[in-house]
């Protein structure tokens, strides 16, 4: 995909959890290839729910196109190979006995050969400076290493789009800085749900502000982040 092409298009997305009020109400937006878009909003705004729709883990009313293809029941596997989600809690991502096994999991499912699996894993471990962690179980890593290992399980699949849910939650200042630097250096399209506005300022060029399941504002990151009264009105300042 060349920069400037629509890589995600969401049209009239509405979702109601089985037990509740609508979590997303008629959401429409576009993400262009190569962009980093921040989805900001207070707790309960619908940010996580939106990310879960973008890779087909939840199915609401409306249409979602990823790399030109509408998500449906039949193409979920293909869609998920293009758009990878890094969960807020690494425990949702890392469940195998070792980090190596976690990284190999998706590649084995794709039927990749052992040599190729080994090569791809070593490449991503080296890019994320995680060499030496592969033989360890994720629970023995530091929070920062665990977060990177979580990202590694997604990157090793070579997606076109990276979805990140609250990527800096629970990281200490050093781990947070290091993770933000990694995100800055990744050139693939990114959609980041967070209320860490400094992260958005450093990584994102565009922002969508979500509150109570509705897009209340979208625009250039600097414009939105400098609009103190807008941020205050949505519990973000
Ligand atoms: P955010 O990520 O912005 O904090 P969420 O997407 O988690 O917001 O939540 C949006 C709304 O959906 C909230 O009202 C929340 O209580 C509700 N919600 C989230 N997850 C569930 C769930 N598994 N079951 C029922 N309601 C949920």
Query: What pLDDT does 97 receive?
Result: 94
Index of the ligand 1 atom closest to the CA of residue 50: 6
Helices (H), the chain: 47-54, 76-82, 99-109, 114-127, 143-155, 173-185, 197-203, 221-225, 228-233
pTM, two decimal places? 0.95
CA of 212 to the centre of ligand 1 (A): 10
Instruction: Classify the C-alpha dihedral 123-127-128-131 as positive or negative.
Output: positive
184 conformational bin, left if phi > 0, alpha if psi -120 to 50, beta if neither = alpha
Best residue among 14, 15, 16, 20 to mutate for probing ligand 1, ranked by most atoms within 8 Å of CB: 20
Q: Work out the number of other CB atoms within 10 angstroms of the CB of residue 190.
A: 23
Residues 104, 199: Cα–Cα separation, whole Å:
30
Would you give per-residue pLDDT tens digits along the chain (237 residues)? 445 799 999 999 999 999 888 999 999 999 999 999 999 999 999 999 999 999 999 999 999 999 999 999 999 999 999 999 999 999 999 999 999 999 999 999 999 999 999 999 999 999 999 999 999 999 999 999 999 999 999 999 999 999 999 999 999 999 999 999 999 999 999 999 999 999 999 999 999 999 999 999 999 999 999 999 999 999 998
Of the chain, the end-to-end C-alpha distance in Å amounts to 36
Residues 17, 193: Cα–Cα separation, whole Å:
19
3-state SS class at 91: helix
Go through 92-115 and write b for each residue having 16 or more CB atoms within 10 A of its CB, e for each that does not: ebbeeebbbbbbbbbbeeeeeeee
Instruction: Assess whether the C-beta atom of 46 lies below 6 angstroms from ligand 1.
Output: yes
Nearest protein Cα to ligand 1, atom 16: 44
CA of 219 to the centre of ligand 1 (A): 24
Instruction: Assess whether the C-beta atom of 44 lies below 6 angstroms from ligand 1.
Output: yes
Query: What pLDDT does 12 receive?
Result: 98
Q: Nearest to residue 186, comparing CAs of 164, 208, 219? A: 164
Q: Indicate the DSSP class of residue 217.
A: E
Q: What is the 3-state secondary structure (H, E, C) of 29-48?
A: EEEECCCEEEEECCCCCCHH
């Amino acid at each position: 995909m060349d920069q400037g092409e629509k890589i995600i298009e969401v049209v009239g997305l509405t979702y109601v959890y089985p037990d509740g009020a609508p979590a997303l109400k008629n959401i429409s937006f576009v993400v262009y290839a190569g962009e980093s878009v921040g989805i900001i909003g207070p707790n309960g705004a619908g940010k996580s729910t939106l990310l879960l729709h973008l890779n087909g883990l939840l199915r609401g009313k409306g249409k979602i196109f990823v790399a030109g293809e509408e998500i449906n029941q039949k193409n979920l596997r293909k869609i998920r190979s293009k758009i990878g989600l890094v969960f807020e809690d690494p425990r949702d991502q890392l469940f195998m006995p070792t980090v190596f096994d976690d990284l190999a999991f998706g590649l084995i499912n794709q039927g990749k050969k052992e040599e190729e699996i080994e090569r791809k894993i070593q490449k991503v471990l080296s890019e994320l400076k995680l060499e030496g962690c592969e033989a360890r179980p994720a629970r023995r890593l530091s929070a920062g290493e665990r977060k990177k290992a979580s990202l590694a399980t997604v990157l090793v699949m070579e997606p076109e789009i990276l979805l990140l849910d609250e990527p800096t939650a629970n990281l200490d200042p050093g781990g947070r800085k290091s993770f933000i630097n990694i995100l800055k250096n990744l050139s693939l399209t990114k959609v980041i749900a967070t209320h860490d506005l400094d992260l958005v300022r450093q990584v994102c060029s565009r922002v969508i502000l979500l509150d109570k399941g509705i897009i209340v504002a979208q625009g250039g990151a600097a414009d939105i982040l400098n609009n103190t009264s807008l941020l205050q009105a949505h519990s973000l300042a």
